[in-house]
């Protein structure tokens, strides 16, 4: 469900809003189409705002090779010094949940993130490991719910294993960017993700700021994207366990 690493960016399509408004899947296919890129690179700054407004700041570098449902991602923390070198390799699959491995240089070994642990928080942020997955639109069922302030409101229901039972998405009519996601589980609302500060990078509308609100913990994480690049040359060898172990 997550679009965090997708860095939502949509180009202005010439689709007729009225024509697609009634077909939620078509809307999402268009969102995916406009975000298409063969690779992505950015440097992210994370601010985790916990209890008592205490702010913890971290930075990471992210690379992605491939696209929806069949991509590979490598995330590497750079700041603060205590966590520098900690990495995460994500291998997305079109037909099942992703494989994820974490690298901890201090221990000198990788650790597979079990499927059952995907709902746990990603390194103290308000994202879960599952939120880091990049799933194809075909892995969800969609339902059109209506229009709200220049957006289409859709309901998405995952077809494969997920911590979420369903979610609501708000897609801007003018540029097909997702501006907000609400994710629910059996107990109710779990997370709210807001996408802001959209800019075009290589023709792809990209949110420069993503804010995640963990409703149950009442904490927030703000992710800001710098040095964003799309469609740059990357090698498959940079997205393997060996590459994870080698470090940045």
Partner 1 sequence: MMLLRLISWPYARKHLLRWLLTMAGIVLGVGVFVGMHTANQSVLAAFRETIDKVAGTTQLQITAGEPGFGEEVLEKVQSLPEVRAAAPVIEATVSTGQGNLLILGVDMLGDRSLRTYDLEGTDEAIDDPLIFLAQADSLIVTRTFAEKNGLQVNSRVPMRTMQGDLIFTVRGIMKPGGLASAFGGDLAIMDIYAAQKFFGRGRRFDRVDLALLDGVTLADGSAKLRALLGSGYEVSPPSSRGEQFEQTSRIYSLASNITSIFALFIGMFIIYNTFAIAVTQRRSEIGILRALGATRSQIRTLFLTESAIAGSIGSGLGVLFGIVMAHAMASYIGNILTEVYGVAQRADGIQVDPVLIGGAWAMGIVTSLFAAVIPARAAAYVDPVKALQKGRNQALSEGESLLRRWAAVGCAAAAVIAVIFSHSTAIFYAGFVLGGVAAVLLAPSLTLWLSRFLRPLLAFLRPVEGTLAADSLIQSPRRTSGTVAALMLSLALVISLGGLARSSYDSLADWMRIALNPDLFVTTAQSVTSRTFVFPASLGDGLRAIPGVDEVQLVRSVRVPVKGGPVMLVALDIGSVERRAKLPAVEGDAATMYRRTERGEAVLASENFVRLHGGKLGEVLEIAAPSGVLKLPIAGIVRDFSDQQGSLLISRQAYIRFWNDDSVNVFRVYVKQGAQDSDVRQRILDTFGKQQRLFVLTNKDVRDYVTRLTDQWFGLTYVQIAVAVLVAILGIVNALTVSITDRRRELGVLQAVGGLRQQIRHTVWMEAAAIGFIGLVLGLLLGAVELYYAIEISRRDLVGIDIGYAYPFRTALALAPVILIAAFLAAVGPSESAVRGSLVEALEYE
Task: Indicate which single residue of 111, 229, 242, 248 sits in contact with partner 1 (rule: CB under 8 A).
Answer: 111
Name the one range near partner 1 by CB under 8 A: 68-76, 78-86, 166-174, 225-233: 78-86
Q: Is residue 113 part of the contact set for partner 1 (CB under 8 A)?
A: yes
Name the nearest CA neighbour of 126 among 215, 212, 1. Answer: 212
Q: Is residue 144 part of the contact set for partner 1 (CB under 8 A)?
A: no
User: Look-up: residue for tokens 């205590």?
Assistant: 82
Task: Indicate which single residue of 7, 10, 11, 58 sits in contact with partner 1 (rule: CB under 8 A).
Answer: 58
Task: Indicate which single residue of 86, 169, 178, 244 sits in contact with partner 1 (rule: CB under 8 A).
Answer: 86
Q: Is residue 109 part of the contact set for partner 1 (CB under 8 A)?
A: yes
DSSP string, 39-92: EEEEEEEEEEE-GGG-EEEEEEEEEEES-TTS-EEEEEEEESGGGTT-EEEEE-
Q: Is residue 50 part of the contact set for partner 1 (CB under 8 A)?
A: yes
Name the nearest CA neighbour of 245 among 112, 48, 84, 110. Answer: 110
Q: Is residue 106 part of the contact set for partner 1 (CB under 8 A)?
A: yes
Rounded CA-CA distance 70/94 in Å is 6
Burial of 60 (0-12, 13-18, 19+ CB in 10 A): buried
Q: Is residue 116 part of the contact set for partner 1 (CB under 8 A)?
A: yes
Give the residues lining the site for partner 1 (CB under 8 A): 50-51, 56, 58, 77, 80, 82-83, 85-86, 102, 104-109, 111-117, 120-121, 123-124, 129, 217
């Amino acid at each position: 469900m997550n679009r965090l690493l997708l860095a939502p960016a949509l180009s202005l399509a010439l689709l007729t809003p009225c024509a697609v408004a009634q077909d939620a899947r078509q809307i999402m296919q268009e969102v995916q189409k406009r975000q298409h890129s063969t690779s992505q690179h950015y440097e992210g700054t994370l601010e985790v705002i916990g209890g008592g407004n205490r702010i913890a700041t971290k930075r990471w570098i992210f690379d992605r090779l491939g696209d929806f449902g069949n991509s590979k991602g490598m995330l590497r923390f750079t700041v603060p010094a205590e966590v520098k070198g900690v990495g995460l390799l994500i291998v997305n699959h079109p037909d099942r949940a992703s494989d994820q491995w974490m690298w901890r240089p201090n221990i000198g070994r990788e650790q597979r993130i079990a499927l059952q642990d995907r709902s746990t928080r990603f390194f103290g942020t308000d994202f879960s490991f599952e939120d880091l997955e990049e799933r194809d639109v075909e892995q969800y069922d969609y339902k059109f719910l209506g229009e709200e302030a220049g957006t289409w409101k859709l309901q998405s229901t995952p077809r494969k294993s997920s911590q979420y039972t369903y979610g609501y998405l708000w897609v801007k009519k003018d540029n097909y960017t997702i501006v907000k996601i609400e994710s629910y589980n059996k107990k109710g609302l779990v997370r709210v993700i807001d996408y802001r500060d959209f800019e075009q990078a290589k023709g792809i509308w990209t949110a420069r700021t993503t804010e995640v609100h963990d409703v149950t913990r009442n904490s927030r994480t703000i992710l800001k994207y710098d040095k964003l690049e799309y469609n740059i040359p990357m090698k498959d060898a940079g997205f393997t366990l060996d590459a994870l172990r080698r470090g940045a």
